[in-house]
Amino acid sequence: MGRETLIDEIRTKLGDAVESVSESYGDDVLAVRPGFLRSLMVALRAAPFDYAVLLDLTCVDFTAGEGRFELVYHLYSLSRNVRLRLKTSLPAADPVADSITGLWKNADWLEREVFDMFGVRFTGHPDLRRLLTYEGFEGHPLRKSYPWRLAQPRIPMKDKV
Amino acid sequence: METRIQREARPESMLINMGPSHPAMHGTIRIMLELDAERILNAEVEVGYLHRGFEKTCENKTYFNLLPYTDRLNYVSPLINNLGYAMTMEKMLGVGVPERAQLIRVLMSELSRISDHLTCLAAMAMECGAFTVFLYMMKAREFLWDVIEFTTGARMTTSYIRIGGVRADLHPDWRGSLATAVRETRRVLKDVSGLLDKNSIFQGRTRGVGVISKEDALSYGWTGPCLRSTGIPYDVRKASPYLIYDKLDFEVPVGEFGDNFDRYRVRMREMEQSLRLLEQVAALIPGAAPITGEPAIEPAEAIRVSRRQKTAARIRLSPNLEGSEKARYADLMTSDRPAALGSTACGVVVPPKEDTYTTMEGLISHFLFFMNGHGIRPPKGDVYFSVEGGNGEVGFYVVSDGTDRPYRLHLRAPCFHVVSALEQLIKGRLLADVIPTFGSMNIIAGELDR
C-alpha cells in the first residue's frame, strides 16, 4: 500500500476521528479528536493498516488553555515498514484521554510516565500512578509551569515490603 | 503507602525485595516479589531510581549544549546516542554530512554496539556464575574502547558525533588499534562460545527461561536484539537505512524461541556481524591526505602574528580541542547553511578554532554560534528519527518553537519497553530465573530512567 492510498483509506474509513492529515519531515501525522482516540487505535492496529507496534507515547505542554497538552503517539507497521504519528490535544483544565492499555502492553508504563510527567489522566488504565518519580512527589515536572531545579519536600522513609 | 503487590498479596506468601541495590541488579531497579517458597507468584518492577530529568534539562539547554547529556543515556554505547540526536537534528535542519564523516559514524556505531553487547553478556554470564566470561569480555571491551579513546579522547562520555559531522578526524594510528580490537574481540567471542554454548549449567538457566512470544514482544514494543530473539528480523539499519548501511553487507541474526539463550545467541552473532561491518568500513575510509602548506606554528605565536596582519599559517592545536582541524573541516563537518536558519546565522557547526583565534570574522561567527538566542535555531515543527542502538530503536522526538532551545525533547528508550515486560516474564518462574532473564534484557538505567 502506497502512502497516498493509505491516507485515502484512513480518510474514508476513519474520517470522523481525523481532524487533519499532514506531513512533517517525511513522516505522516494524523491529528485526532480525543474522543475517537481509542476507536481509531483499534482500527489502525487491525488490517489493512496493521500498525502492530506502539513505538512511543509522549506529551507536549503548549501552555495555552484549549489544546494545552498534546499527546503524541508513534505507531509502526512491521508488515508495511512505515511509521505514523498521531496527535491529540487535551484541554488544560481537565486533561483526560482514553487508555490504550488493552491494545498494547507497553502502553501501561508509557501512560504512567505521561501521567507522572504531565498530569494527564488516562481513563481505563488499571494502575495509574507515578513511574519515574516517587509517591509524594509534588507537581508534574515536564509541565512548563514547573520550574527547572525546583526542590521537592522531604518524604518519610518507605516502609519495608 | 501500599504498592500494587502488597494489596494483591496472599496472606500466606512471602514478599521480598530484589534491589534497588542488589549485586545482581546492574543498574538500580527494584523488583518486588511475592514468593511461595522459590516460586514467584507475583512481581512488580519499580524504576526511576536514576531519573535525573534529562528531558527537562534539555529544554533548558541549547541544541549544541545538550549533546553531552546524550552521552549519559546509554552510557555503554554513548556514540550511538550522540548519533541518534545529531541525525535527528540534521533531519530537522536538512543538512547533509560529508562521506568521510558518515563512514566514521558507522565505524563508531559498530564499535559501540559490540561494546554494548559485550557488557550485557558479560554481566549476564557473571551473574550465572561464569566469571571467566566476564573477564574475557571486559578485556575485549577495553580493546574496543582503546580505538574510541584514541579518537574521541574519552572512553564513555565522548560527545564525539556532532550535529553536522564528527568532532575530529580519526587518530593517525586508528587502523592499528582497530585491527587489534577486531582480532582480540574475535578471539574472545570464540572463547566465550566455547565456554557457554554447550555449557549445561548455562543452558539450564537460559533455555526455555524468560520466554516471550512474538505477539507479546511486539505488544510490549520490543526492538533490537530482544525482539530479534523471537524471530522477527526488525532492525532499523535494514528497515529504514541511515548513513551508508544500505551499501554495506551484513545480516540480521534472529532467534527462534525468544528465551534467554536466544537473546544471548542473537547478541553473539550480531557482534560477529558488527566485526564484519567494522572491517568493511575500515576498508572504505581513505587515508587522510597529509596536510600541506606552511609548517604549523604555536597558538601564542599565531596570536602574536595576527596582531600585525592576518595570518594564513597553520596553527598547532591539540587534536582533542574543539574544532582544531580547519584543514579537515571539509571532510568531517557539513558546510550546509540551511536557508531556514536565516541570513545572519553561522551554520550548524562550530567555526574552526584557528579562525576564532586569529581573525575578527572568525571571532564574530564564534560568538554568533554560542550567544544566547543565536546558534542553531531550527524552524518550527516536530521531528522523529531513530537509529539502531545496542538495545534497539533509539528514537528522538524533538519539538522546536524556532528558538535555540528545544521546546520538547523526548527519548524513545529501547530499554523502557523491554523492562516493562519483565514482570510478565518472571511470573510463575523460580526466583533464580530472575537473574538470567534480567541479565539478558540488558537494562541500562541511564536510558531507562532518563
What pLDDT does residue B341 have?
Answer: 65
Q: What is the largest CA-CA distance in chain A?
A: 57
Q: Are B393 and B386 in contact (CB under 8 A)?
A: yes
Average pLDDT of the residues in A112-141: 88
- B23-68: per-residue pLDDT in tens? 777 778 888 888 888 889 888 888 888 888 899 999 988 898 899 9
Q: Are B166 and B151 in contact (CB under 8 A)?
A: no
Q: What is the largest CA-CA distance in chain B?
A: 88
Q: Are A148 and B57 in contact (CB under 8 A)?
A: yes
- B218-232: per-residue pLDDT in tens? 999 899 899 999 999
Average pLDDT of the residues in A57-67: 82
Give dist(CA B91, CA B79) in Å, integer.
Answer: 18
- B277-336: per-residue pLDDT in tens? 999 999 988 877 666 656 677 778 877 887 888 777 777 766 555 555 777 777 778 777
pLDDT band with cut points at 50, 70 and 90 for residue B107: very high
- pTM of the entire structure? 0.88
Query: Mean pLDDT: which of A16-20, A30-34, A69-73, B352-356 is highest?
Result: A69-73
Average pLDDT of the residues in A22-37: 84
- B370-402: per-residue pLDDT in tens? 888 777 888 888 999 999 988 889 999 999 988
Average pLDDT of the residues in B190-213: 89
Count Cβ–Cβ pairs < 8 Å, chain A vs chain B.
100
pLDDT at B117 over 90: yes
Length of chain A in terms of residues written:
161
What pLDDT does residue B144 have?
Answer: 92
B384/A78 Cβ within 8 A: no
Long-range contacts of B363-372 (CB under 8 A, 24+ apart): B368/B344, B369/B64, B370/B64, B372/B62, B372/B404
- Angle, alpha carbons B282-B285-B286 (nearest 5°): 130
Average pLDDT of the residues in B123-131: 87
Tell me what the pLDDT averaged over chain B comes to: 85
The alpha carbons of chain B give a radius of gyration, in whole angstroms, of: 24
Residue of A121, A54, A87 lying closest to B221 (CA atoms): A54
List C-alpha distances in Å: B53 to A49, A57, A132, B138, B398: 36, 17, 10, 30, 16
What pLDDT does residue B394 have?
Answer: 92
Average pLDDT of the residues in B341-356: 72
What pLDDT does residue B225 have?
Answer: 92
pLDDT at B15 over 90: no
Residues of B in contact with A86 (CB under 8 A): none
B219/A25 Cβ within 8 A: no
Residues of B in contact with A133 (CB under 8 A): 48, 51
Any A CB within 8 A of B450 CB? yes
All domains in chain A, ordered by first residue? 3-123 (3.30.460.80)
- Determine which of A50, A63, A78, A132 to mutate to test the interface with B (most B C-beta atoms within 10 Å): A132
- B424 versus B344: the higher-pLDDT residue is B424
Cell of A95: 486533561
